[in-house]
Amino acid sequence: MLENVQGIVKVNQDERYVVFLFDTYEANRKMLQDKFVKGQSSWYTDAKGTGEDGKVFYRIAQDNEWIEAEYVDFIETND
């Protein structure tokens, strides 16, 4: 299920760590080996996806890079 959101996701991991990104939120997702974000970084998001397996992801790039919701805090913005 895909829904439109407007906000910021802040990576809730320590800044010494990185969180890998995925190519989709769907259950057949693949980890992007060369794409990751640093802990404590913040990213704009416009979409929230829930795969058939129940895992939730936020899209943080126009070219469909998704981060698992477990590793971020979502902050809704109204502009």
pTM of the predicted structure, to 2 decimals:
0.94
How much is the average pLDDT of 2-30?
97
Domain boundaries, the chain: 2-76
Share of the chain above pLDDT 70, in %: 99
Q: What is the pLDDT of residue 79?
A: 63
CATH 1.10.1760 fits 2-76, yes or no: no
DSSP structure string for the chain: -EEEEEEEEEE-S-TT-EEEEES-SSTT--EEEEEEEETT-EEEEEEEEE-TTS-EEEEEETTTEEEEGGGEEEEE---
* Average pLDDT over all residues of the chain: 95
Distance CA 49, CA 66 (A): 9
Share of the chain above pLDDT 90, in %: 92
